[in-house]
Homo-oligomer: A and B are copies of this chain.
Amino acid sequence: MKRIDLLSELVLENQTKLLLLVIDGLGGLPGENGKTELEAASTPNLDKLASKGEVGLLQMVEPGITPGSGPGHLALFGYDPLDFSIGRGILEALGVGAQVAPQDVCVRGNFSTWGPDDVIVDRRAGRISSEKNKELIAFLSKNIEEIKGVKVKLYPGEEHRFVAVFSGEGLSEEVEDADPQKNGLPMRWAEPSSSRGSLMASVANEFIKRVRELLAEEKQANGCLLRGFSQAPHMPSLSQLYKINPVAIATYPMYKGIARLVGMEVVEADRGLEGLFEALSSQWDKYDFFYVHVKYSDSYGEDGNYDAKKEVLEKLDSLIPKVLELKPDVLVVTGDHSTPSQLKSHSWHPVPVLLVSPYVRHGNCSGFGERECAKGALGIMPAHYLMGLMLAHGLRLSKYGA
């Protein structure tokens, strides 16, 4: 039996509240002082939770594999990230705040400079400014709302980049890039890679022609290319799978987007850690599964700023008592991947996790840190098992077999 079906078959509904607090890029590596950011941070509240709960390390994909935010989050939500993947176009769309429905096709756009006979002179239109990009997108959005019954939504990005989301019946991602790949070559128009992609390819080419007409007077950005056609992966929603009513509390577009893909409601929160936890409190009565996403730990890790990452963790720790006031039945604190400030990037190192419920074998751990967690009662666990464990501690799974 497949694991994802196994849980669905056993799952029960009840009133327990499950809280998953994701500290982006939580895991780190020892700095010059011999301690990781988390180990060096003064986190008395998390330490206490670690000693009251069970701790371990989450292997997000498998040993040695560095996860992107997509696979990291899918694993935390119970999907094996090797069985489900989120395409590049989709992630870009989520990153610029696009709302993506299951059938939509997301595409990465480039403003580009076209010469005579549709030769692509500059695929990046001289890297126009992001402000200019915004203006052009606003103008195009007014003039292109629908093509062949397919709705078009455009989102500006940085410099020459934008995102297009196409919504309608019969669309498919099975379309080759509309992009000659090199400057100085004639335009290569979109072509379906299977018969399923023909509508999308013809809509894409019609879109590019309309952009050419509308921007004919522009010097640099007088046309566009479309690349990376992708649809949301076909994945059952969290409520279908686990009979939960989940909500995401996150401030960055990509995380809201991933949450929507797995069927979570998304509520707005003010930026800043206080804002997150205020939103959590205000939503507490309406849902039973809460995903809270803290971004800044990852951003500082990516910057290589050890001290700032450590300070975010300390600030977060000081807000933990607010979380505990809500009395979650199951509380998990973990990350979606490691971001050691030494590497200035995501890394493959497994991620500390702590789980608190009335049903834990507590006491193996004196503080919340990578090396304490390595000795913990949860062991080193594939991250996609976490959801089953949270449901179990919420007494939401019946027995397997008699």
Contacts and interface: CB of A to CB of B under 8 A. Distances in A.
Interface of A: 1, 3, 6-7, 10, 29-30, 34, 36, 57, 61-71, 81-82, 85-86, 88, 91, 340, 342-343, 345-349, 359-364, 370-371, 374-381, 385-393, 397-402
A82 B375 CA distance: 28
Contact of A363 (B34, B359, B393): B34
A387 B62 CA distance: 12
B1 A67 contact: no
B377 A379 contact: no
Contacts of A387: 64
A351 B364 CA distance: 16
Contact of A361 (B3, B29, B67, B346): B29
A33 to B, nearest CB: 12
Nearest to A349: B361
Contacts of A400: 61, 65-68, 71, 81
B88 A389 contact: no
A256 B347 CA distance: 34
A152 to B, nearest CB: 24
Nearest to A74: B401
B343 A388 contact: no
Interface centre among A63, A69, A346, A370 (most CB of B within 10 A): A63
A333 B69 CA distance: 33
Contact of A399 (B63, B346, B377, B399): B346
Contact of A10 (B29, B65, B389): B65
A397 B348 contact: yes
Interface centre among A34, A348, A393 (most CB of B within 10 A): A348
Contacts of A6: 62, 65, 82
Main secondary structure of the interface of A (DSSP, over half): loop
Contact of A36 (B82, B346, B361, B374): B361
Contacts of A340: 359
Contacts of A29: 359-361
B371 A377 contact: yes
Nearest to A62: B385
B10 A388 contact: no
B348 A392 contact: yes
8 contacts: A6-B82, A62-B385, A63-B381, A66-B398, A66-B399, A348-B397, A361-B371, A380-B381
B3 A62 contact: yes
A265 B263 CA distance: 52
Interface centre among A70, A343, A363, A401 (most CB of B within 10 A): A401
Nearest to A372: B364
A29 B377 CA distance: 12
Given A1-B82, A30-B362, A67 B399 contact: yes
A394 to B, nearest CB: 10
A180 to B, nearest CB: 24
Contacts of A61: 400
A324 B79 CA distance: 42
B64 A397 contact: yes
A391 B81 contact: no
Contact of A392 (B66, B85, B88, B362): B66
A388 B360 CA distance: 29
A397 B346 CA distance: 12
Contact of A402 (B69, B342, B363): B69
A402 B68 contact: yes
A66 B397 contact: yes
Given A70-B401, A377-B374, A65 B362 contact: no
Interface centre among A1, A34, A377, A380 (most CB of B within 10 A): A377
Contacts of A374: 361, 364, 376-377, 379
A329 to B, nearest CB: 14
Contacts of A381: 63, 380
